[in-house]
Amino acid sequence: MKKSLILASKSPRRVRLLEKLKINFEIFPSNINENKKLNLLPIDFAQYWAKKKAIEVGKHKPKNLIFAADTIVAYEDNILGKPKDKNDSYRMLELLSGRTHKVITCMVFFNKEKNIFESSYKETFVTVNKLNQNDIRNYINKNNTLDKAGAYGIQGFFSVHITNINGCYYNVMGLPLSLFYEEYKKVKSLIN
């Protein structure tokens, strides 16, 4: 019996996006603590965490193909991960207001048994219109901002504040589907 792909994440958005592709997969979150302070550029930062997640799950599932990803929001070189609290959400949304920022998703495919490690990333540029204090407070009070990098979800109400997207929309949700699928096909051919 073929081993299914292991998604090293419990992100409901990644689960929904993977389901679109009709790929057989199981969920096995890495549960690593991502609170460690790192002095890295945004792409290196996201790649570090994607790799850590894949390796951690690979310890438990060495025969499976592990897929891990990390999505961050970056304005200039300021990395905005998941907010700690509502005040942190406010700070992030105020920073993004009226500006263009990058959303970066780093992806890792890892199979410990066959010594496969493939890493890639996607950047998308997102422009947010100018938000006033009420816009920010209302959004924070009516939406869960704590489980999303940059304190917003593009697939929900916050979309009314997005004036431009340059790049992959699904990347902003946490999984660039086209890049994922190309990488997945390539890695699957190495395993079979």
How many CA atoms are closer than 13 Å to the CA of 25, on its beta-carbon side? 24
For CA atoms 137, 42, 127, 15, give the dihedral sign. negative
Is the Cα dihedral 126, 127, 132, 135 positive or negative?
negative
For 143, which DSSP code?
S
Find the catalytic residue in 44, 70, 77, 88.
70
105 vs 17: CA distance, rounded Å: 14
The Cα–Cα gap between 150 and 172 comes to 10
- Largest Cα separation within the chain, whole Å, is 56
Dump the DSSP string for 67-94.
Answer: EEEEEEEEETTEEE-S-SSHHHHHHHHH
Give φ, ψ of 90 to 5 degrees.
Answer: -60, -45
Residue 85: active-site member? no
The two tokens of residue 148 are 């999303």
Q: Which residues are catalytic?
A: 70
